[in-house]
Structure 1
Amino acid sequence: MHSVVVYLLEDDPDDVYLVKELLNKTTFARKYQVKDFNTVEALNKTIHIMVPDIILVDLNVTDSFGLDTLVQVRQCYKKTPIIVLTGSDENEFGEKAIHLGAQDYLPKSDLTTNFLCRSIRYAKERFSLIESLSNQVSIDQLTLINNRRSLDERLNSLFDEGQRYNRSFAILFIDLNKFKEINDNYGHSAGDQLLKLLAARLKMFNRASDFVARYGGDEFVILAPEIDSIQELDALLKLKYKTLADHYCLQSLNGDIVEIDVTVSIGAAVFPLHGDTIEGLMEKADAAMYKAKQNNQPYCIAK
């Protein structure tokens, strides 16, 4: 049985020692591997190295205080359950932490091995259940990629991060050309097959940081963080067009195997270069996509 990887955000050496000792004393078969950090900055820098099974957070550390500590950690570790450790006079913060997404809060004065291990186990199970239920409503049932609802959530989060940390990102609108003709000529089942194939390519051939979603109908959207120049965006657009524009084999309504040439039109806008609101950026990316379609171009960048 693999060890449970625990990240501990705590700047008091005595409390670090306490938590490690409690988890080392467990009599369960499962073992705990604890790595401690004394600042939020140090903790968040490890996101690209390893994602822990759970994070224990003291709200008051060297570089952050109060509930803002939890907010910063959750922004970085969205897919990891968090338990808040509180001092004897901080229970009100613990309850508010639950409202902000923590799975549990534990007063340090009440910590025991069994209490801590049980809380970790329940927090992981509860978080997994919530994630499972969330995925059911955030995944497009046809293409099995993110749907419009999850796109809106991710875009809001990316926009907030962009404003707070001065980070750029690009929005790519992708529309299939002559999709109605495909449905009319070969049946809607063939059209559905094509949408699944395109979604699979978008999901497979993308950067790890990119967010791919079906916007509706035959439209897809990609959110691409850290696009810092038009040159980078142009290279990304060329790659996406090359990935999608191809020959596809589909089964028509009468069972025949048909091979069709598929092209797409892509429009793109960059924050903050092309707009400082979500609505403005979406409108510019959408308009650029229609301009590409009207001019029979593979892609177009907003002006």
Structure 2
Amino acid sequence: MSLKTLHFLLVEPSPSGQSEIEEMLSIFSNEVHKIEWIVIEEALAALELLKTTHFDLLIVSLPLFIYPRRTLWKELHSLAGATPILTIGEQRDEKTSTLAIHLGAEDYIPKSEYSPTHLWRAILHALERHKMHEKFKELLFADELTRLYNRRGFLTLLTQQISLSKRLNKGFLFFQVDLDELKKINDTHGHFAGDSALKGAALCLKNAFRKQDIIGRIGGDEFAVIAINAPEEEGDYLKKVVHESAHQYNLAHKHPYLLSLSVGAAFYSPQEDPSPEELLAQADADLYVEKKQKK
């Protein structure tokens, strides 16, 4: 039986670092998988290559993409798409490791812990974790109409985010958003218009929040958002961003109705540790205040 060929991109500026990793990859190539790899020393060259070439895994030097400016990492993450990223670096401390995971890497390996077994285990775990995550998300988490997370998927991720926030001792903002007058849109203009309005609401939220934030449709006309690591004082500002996004949507799309969103916010504090149900209730109460003000 022929072995599957895995294509890796190694981005490492140090010749000695390159040699170490290449030697370890050579040990495992042809045993379980055939591994082919390309080595690049510079971040910008790697970004250019990713525009035209697909890889199964990226092994990148974390400092190369976050210093002096983190915009390089954002571009790397965007170009990588669904490709898992394994990060390497000099430091062995919780801050660096947490930063790598927060930025979207599957794992972080300090050079002091390089060994063929450790590296190969990290590679296999990264590939398997990513594969399972993508399959799980596709099968269970997608709302068919909006392609956002459905209620089940969103609440699963909310529970995970609460656990992570407790470990990191960092809070986050939680939003509940209602599409106003959906029943009226359905009754007046038909269910096709109602579906279009729901898709429009999803687009507004995607435009209002960051790529790493988690957005779901949790009910017929109800949406929810986890703004990861967003401080409590940004709550009112982000509400305004959502309303501005809806305004821009109405300017760009000529529908027989105006798309309107109501927004409620709550803050998850690790010290107070509200449950998912309590966060939903708090955001819903805040949303109700905004709805009353619109009447």
> What residue in structure 2 maps to residue 91 of structure 1?
none
Q: 1:75 to 1:22 in 2, by over 3 A?
A: closer
Give CA deviations for 1:102-121 in whole Å, capped at 9, x if unaligned.
xxxx746xx9xxxx6x995x
Give CA deviations for 1:185-241 in whole Å, capped at 9, x if unaligned.
1222211111012112222342233221111101111111233243x2211111101
Query: What are structure 2's unaligned runs of at least 5 residues?
Result: 1-5, 41-58
Give CA deviations for 1:231-290 in whole Å, capped at 9, x if unaligned.
x2211111101212464899xxxxxx9511232211111122995312322211011111
> What residue in structure 2 maps to residue 241 of structure 1?
243
- Name the structure with the higher strand share: 1
Shift of 1:126: 4.6
Q: 1:162 to 1:149 in 2, by over 3 A?
A: same
Q: Paired residue for 2:86, among 55, 66, 79? A: 55
> What residue in structure 2 maps to residue 280 of structure 1?
278
Partners of 1:28 and 1:7 lie apart in 2 by 16
Q: Paired residue for 1:164, among 149, 152, 167? A: 167
- Give the TM-score normalised by structure 1: 0.62
In structure 2, give the amino acid aligned to 1:173: Q
Give the 3-state SS of the residue equivalent to 1:262 in structure 2. coil
Give the 3-state SS of the residue equivalent to 2:185 in structure 1. helix
In structure 2, give the amino acid aligned to 1:272: S
Maintained 8 Å contact 2:208/2:241: no
In structure 1, give the amino acid aligned to 2:171: S
Indicate whether 1:270 and 2:267 are aligned.
yes
Q: How many residues align?
A: 246
- Name the structure with the higher helix share: 2
Q: 1:247 to 1:277 in 2, by over 3 A?
A: same
Shift of 1:168: 2.2
> What residue in structure 1 maps to residue 43 of structure 2?
none
Indicate whether 1:261 and 2:265 are aligned.
no
Maintained 8 Å contact 1:183/1:191: yes
> What residue in structure 2 maps to residue 5 of structure 1?
9
Query: What are structure 1's unaligned runs of at least 5 residues?
Result: 9-13, 88-105, 251-256, 298-303
User: CA-atom RMSD, angstroms?
Assistant: 4.7
Q: 1:167 to 1:48 in 2, by over 3 A?
A: farther
Partners of 2:175 and 2:280 lie apart in 1 by 9
Structure number with larger C-alpha Rg: 1
Give the 3-state SS of the residue equivalent to 2:258 in structure 1. strand
Q: 1:123 to 1:227 in 2, by over 3 A?
A: closer
**Mean alpha-carbon deviation: is it higher for 48-57 or for 267-276?**
48-57
Give CA deviations for 1:109-162 in whole Å, capped at 9, x if unaligned.
xx9xxxx6x995x76765554244223221111101122122112212222232
Maintained 8 Å contact 1:16/1:36: no
Partners of 1:204 and 1:238 lie apart in 2 by 13
Give the 3-state SS of the residue equivalent to 2:236 in structure 1. helix
Q: Paired residue for 1:187, among 190, 195, 209? A: 190
Aligned sequence identity (%): 25
Indicate whether 1:217 and 2:220 are aligned.
yes
> What residue in structure 1 maps to residue 287 of structure 2?
289
